Structure 1
Amino acid sequence: MSRKENLSSLSDSINTVNRYGRTNSYGKAVKHSSLAKLRPDQGVYRTPEVKALRAFVGVYNMLFWITGAAVFSLGVSCLLDIQTEELSTLLQVELVPYQPGVPVLYWLYLGLLLAGSIIFITGFMGCWSSMQGNSTAAMLYIMLLLISCIGEISLTAIAIISRDLILERTEQELVPKLKMNYNIPGHDGFSRSIDLMQTKFECCGLGGLNDYTLSTWSREGIPSLEGIPSRDNILSRNEKEGWKARLKVPLTCCALTNSHELTGYLDPKPSDLSKCQDLSSRTILARYTDGCLDKLLSWGEGQCIMIAGVAVGGAVLHILGIVLTCCLLQKLHPSQ
């Protein structure tokens, strides 16, 4: 073999070693196992910039996961809270004429529960996709984020519309209902909600005491005072005869000694029953005089705003997740 051929063979061997890393005892090229398994994008995947972005996406999705759990817990607490459930039944909106009202807050609470579940699942999917490090998992995650974001925006719109409906229609629908159904047999749930409203907000009726003087309860359904405790737990015969054994306003319109109790509205104990039922008396310390309508509407509006705020926050988190995932994909696959 000539010297020129030897030099050419040696040059080919050096190029082979440089390409594959080493040769075996027979002079044949052997690939490094790590390089053999390395995908085209793994070199980029191991750069410090991409590692930092991947870590940030993982931390973000962990926080996203925790946020979903918190929103889910908020929805559950709203649905299980007795007082919230009782008050929300008063804010039913009649969407179709002559049809029963729709408890819009109840459905918004269900929407909040669903939103929390979606955020929770999305955060889990984000953590999984960030660990996978491939475009398929990332695209699946982005699609889930888009669907979730649309759901959050829809919940926000529904909450805002529900707020407007509550403010617009509650007075015209609830006032006649109170005058017709309060403390009438067959409407125990409604009467219980009214009692809670009056105890919680320290008010009487929707517009004031006149709601009861013109009500069916005042004309036909006023109960006897037998068995109703006074300040000393016993009503004198003179008191009963003076009132003709009839209530003028519900006991929950009175200042109660047990108003701080969670179920105080179910067993109201007036601090001074005689002064509370004496409508001619100018002493108002024993009885609430303000109407409840403004306070009830303010509470309902606050619930809608709370739900809308949570939905907007979830939508912003979804959009941020989409941006971060797209940035990570761009770093991993700059040619795509």
Structure 2
Amino acid sequence: MQRQSKDEKYEAKTSGPCDLACLRGLLIGFNFIFILGGCGALAIGIWTVMMKMQYVAILGSMYYNIIVYLLIGAGVLVFLTGILGCVGAIQKNNAMLTCYFVLLVVIFLCECIAGILAFVYYESLHDELSEGLRSNLNKNYNQTDKEALSDAVDMMQQDFQCCGVESYLDWQDSTFVKQNKDGLKTPESCCKSVTPLCSKRDHPSNIYRILGSDSMGCLTKLELYIKEHLFILAVTGTAVACLEILVMIFACCLRSAIKKEEGEPY
């Protein structure tokens, strides 16, 4: 009778639909995917910073910067946390798994903050962009200590093939046009072929005149551009968050199974 009782206890510790080996395998497998997801989030964040942040000077808001850097930080943490989770699962180390779970919660909270900021920024994007662009084009372009802003405006107009906020007419009342002595009607970045004094010529084939009903000014094009990138960041963050929930569940189950095997209280 006593022998049967011991066998029953051993069986209770080692058997079940999700035994220890099964949980370890699942956690390691999902952690591998989790690490790949972290690398993906990190790569997208760095790509955004390196290649797509040239317009930050004219956005008039820090939300976009914060969202991108939160994603980069989360990507780094996901990568390191995934490695910690794999080592903890392989070694059946409860201390590592506890630390792993805490880090997952921290990453999840960072992603929630980034998601809230992205939603707030998305809702107010049009008004903020319109106000920021008009102010920068009218007052700050080509002014002292505004080189980064001026370069960003020039790059925007060349990349998007647009001129002004809604049309080239937005430059008429700008400080740049009023101060220049060459009679320029717009910056030379509005020209299809940038040559000295090209914007002095008032010619539809040379200046991006946003007059057609199907045309878009820089405001609309920049807004669409930012929304596309916010969508990419949102999809990446959501995918990583879903993986986090799964690995958090498996981490909790594995911790319980290890304690059960060792005869420790939950």
- TM-score class normalised by the smaller sequence: 0.7 to 0.9
Q: Mean alpha-carbon deviation: is it higher for 199-208 or for 68-77?
A: 68-77
TM-score by length of 1: 0.65
Within the candidate set 103, 128, 131, 1:169 is matched to 128
TM-score by length of 2: 0.81
Distance in 1 between residues matched to 2:186 and 2:102, nearest whole Å: 58
1:250 alignment counterpart: 187
Distance in 2 between residues matched to 1:134 and 1:144, nearest whole Å: 16
The residue identity in structure 2 corresponding to 1:86 is Q
Distance in 1 between residues matched to 2:205 and 2:32, nearest whole Å: 53
Q: Confirm whether residue 77 of structure 1 aligns to residue 42 of structure 2.
A: no
1:296 alignment counterpart: 222
Contact 2:71–2:111 (8 Å) recurs in 1: no
Contact 1:87–1:197 (8 Å) recurs in 2: yes
Q: Give the 3-state SS of the residue equivalent to 2:53 in structure 1.
A: helix
Q: Confirm whether residue 92 of structure 1 aligns to residue 29 of structure 2.
A: no
Distance in 1 between residues matched to 2:223 and 2:137, nearest whole Å: 15
2:248 alignment counterpart: 322
The residue identity in structure 2 corresponding to 1:252 is S
Within the candidate set 58, 83, 86, 2:28 is matched to 58
Distance in 2 between residues matched to 1:132 and 1:45, nearest whole Å: 20
Contact 1:160–1:305 (8 Å) recurs in 2: no
Greater C-alpha Rg: 1
Q: How many pairs were matched up?
A: 249
Structure 1: runs of 5 or more not aligned: 1-14, 16-39, 94-102, 225-245, 257-267
Distance in 2 between residues matched to 1:255 and 1:72, nearest whole Å: 36
Structure 2: runs of 5 or more not aligned: 3-9, 211-216
Question: CA RMSD for the aligned pairs?
Answer: 3.0
Distance in 1 between residues matched to 2:146 and 2:97, nearest whole Å: 54
Q: CA deviation at 1:124?
A: 1.0
Write the deviation string for residues 108-147 of structure 1: whole angstroms up to 9, x where unpaired. 2211211111111210111012112244433332222222
Distance in 2 between residues matched to 1:41 and 1:91, nearest whole Å: 63
Q: Mean alpha-carbon deviation: is it higher for 64-73 or for 117-126?
A: 64-73
Greater RCO structure (CA 8 Å; 6+ sep):
2
The residue identity in structure 1 corresponding to 2:192 is A
Q: Give the 3-state SS of the residue equivalent to 1:86 in structure 2.
A: coil
Q: Give the 3-state SS of the residue equivalent to 2:208 in structure 1.
A: coil
Over 3 Å counting, the alpha-carbon distance change for 1:165 and 1:47 in structure 2 is: closer
